[in-house]
Amino acid sequence: MSKVRVRYAPSPTGLLHIGNARSALFNYLYARHYKGDFIVRIEDTDTKRNVEGGEQSQLELLQWLGIDIDESPVHGGSFGPYRQLERLSLYQKYSEDLLTRGLAYKEDNGAIRFKVPKNTVYQFDDMVRGTLSFDSKEVEDWIMVKENGIPTYNFAVAIDDYHMQISHVMRGEEHITNTPKQLMVYEAFGWTPPTFGHMTIIVNEQKKKLSKRDENVIQFISEYKKLGYLPEAMFNFIALLGWSPPVEKEILSKEQFFEYFDGSRFVKAPSMFDRDKLKFINSRYIKKLDLETLKEKVKPYLEEAHINIISDEWLTQLVTVFQERMHYLQEIVELYHEFFNGRFVLDNEMLVFLKENNSLSLIEAFRSHIKAIEFTPEHIKQAIKDISVQLGVKGKPLYMGLRIATTAETHGPSLPDMLALLSKNTVIDRLTHTIDRLRGDL
């Protein structure tokens, strides 16, 4: 295989969304697997739709995702310029050549149309779908240069891909019908076309094609960044949308993706955007963070919610308690309010458990013990041990009994960490409430 050179070619008309991010990521992974080059080229010829900051936003979010760019308008390179509006003289040269050879013609308004050859079949081997073919009679003569002198997509993209020595073009399936027009341009100039691969659509959980108007799914990478999804998790999740690894794992490192992504395992069926799967993957990455890193990451969310960070020790306890529960960083605000401001309610199932295990004496003893201790996780842990020995209670009756009596939950993070965070007075009040409920039901 000659050197792999692939490109992601967005228009600066908006923010980076899931579909475009997948196109960029698949091209990037393919390039890295084969030690090739990943190029970002800006297709800015639709001047009416271009938005200020669109190009910068695309590049910054690709970088945030962990996609390293070899060539771009910012990174430079030997095949520039990397913006189409800076390449107009090149397109003009080729359009004049086609006009001279009678392969294109001008209309009265100055636009130039490509003359589609008759009785010709355009066939190519798609990396995802196998052999695809189109008859030229299905395509009418198409505009290759608009009346304002700016080339249309199919004309410019073929010229750019040739001049930038692009070896493989991987993009969404909506581009399949564009491919024959681009093959016509390659044929007209005697160029060898790149290898094409058209990725299947991404669908929502109702199996409908994901669209920018779908309000059930967050579309833009910037929104996930804002919510506190980690870039490594987004990278991992998006890489599995239309490609399957050769191992039975969902959590893969960047290096593993580089190793496995050889282009042989594209999925032909539509890829479902599973929000729960994304949350799960992100939670796994959050769990891997060391406490100091996680503390720094959640601070801005707590401050924005006007939650007073009492001390660094308090923040450490908070993060210790919630790290296992967080699916995304902003969720710590919701967990905080639920933890400190939620109602303490013992349901019937919890009361039955306490009664069946004769937990009243356990809870009374624990209340008595903690009144006299310094209320730290270490001292609380020791108090639990002392009561276990004193009463001969251990295992589930001990730990679940105290957890229910203090948190109204049957499972969760380390109990001593949770109780220290709640404060001694709150815990004593809850124990007293539980004792009153049990005595009242006797």
pLDDT tens-digit profile of 379-428? 999 999 999 999 999 999 999 999 999 999 998 889 999 999 998 999 99
Range from 67-76, 159-168, 334-343 carrying the lowest mean pLDDT: 334-343
In this structure, the answer to whether residues 295 and 326 fall within a common structural domain is: yes
The pLDDT of residue 215 is above 80: no
Residues 2-45 have pLDDT tens digits of: 899 999 999 888 789 999 999 999 999 999 999 999 999 999 98
In a domain, 124, yes or no: no
Structural domain harbouring 65: 1-72+200-288
First to last CA, the chain: 80
In this structure, the answer to whether residues 386 and 421 fall within a common structural domain is: yes
Q: pLDDT over 90 for what percent of the chain? A: 88
Please say which residue of 297, 323, 341 terminates a domain.
341
In this structure, the answer to whether residues 206 and 58 fall within a common structural domain is: yes
In this structure, the answer to whether residues 327 and 397 fall within a common structural domain is: no
| Residue 175: predicted pLDDT | 95
In a domain, 77, yes or no: no
Confidence band of 441 (pLDDT split at 50, 70, 90): low
Q: How many residues in the chain?
A: 442
Give the CATH number for residue 207: 3.40.50.620
Residues 101-124 have pLDDT tens digits of: 999 999 999 999 999 999 999 999
In this structure, the answer to whether residues 8 and 59 fall within a common structural domain is: yes
Question: Which of these, 169, 171, 219, 222, lies nearest to 63 by C-alpha position?
Answer: 222
HSE-CB at 437 with a 13 A cutoff on CA atoms is: 22
| Residue 184: predicted pLDDT | 98
The pLDDT of residue 49 is above 90: no
In this structure, the answer to whether residues 280 and 238 fall within a common structural domain is: yes
- Give the pairing type, strands 5-8 and 37-40: parallel
Question: Which of these, 201, 198, 147, 212, lies nearest to 168 by C-alpha position?
Answer: 198
In this structure, the answer to whether residues 205 and 273 fall within a common structural domain is: yes
Number of domains in the chain: 3
In a domain, 215, yes or no: yes
212 is catalytic: yes
Q: To which H or E segment does residue 169 belong?
A: strand 168-172
Q: What is the largest CA-CA distance in the chain?
A: 101
Residues 276-291 have pLDDT tens digits of: 999 999 999 999 999 9
Mean pLDDT computed over 46-75:
91
Which pair of tokens denotes residue 51? Answer: 């938005």
Catalytic residue among 137, 212, 355, 396: 212
In a domain, 253, yes or no: yes
In a domain, 320, yes or no: yes
In this structure, the answer to whether residues 321 and 239 fall within a common structural domain is: no
In a domain, 376, yes or no: yes
In a domain, 390, yes or no: yes
| Residue 424: predicted pLDDT | 93
Confidence band of 1 (pLDDT split at 50, 70, 90): low
In this structure, the answer to whether residues 25 and 46 fall within a common structural domain is: yes
DSSP letters for 229-280 = --HHHHHHHHHTSSB--SSS-S---HHHHHHH-SSS-B--SPEE--HHHHHH
Range from 132-146, 200-214, 313-327, 338-352 carrying the lowest mean pLDDT: 200-214
The pLDDT of residue 144 is above 60: yes
Place of tokens 């042989």: 264
In this structure, the answer to whether residues 303 and 373 fall within a common structural domain is: no
In a domain, 96, yes or no: no
| Residue 15: predicted pLDDT | 84
In this structure, the answer to whether residues 437 and 352 fall within a common structural domain is: yes
Single-letter amino acid, residue 390: Q
Can you give the pTM of this predicted structure? 0.91
| Separation of alpha carbons 377 and 256, rounded Å | 39
Give the CATH number for residue 294: 1.10.8.70
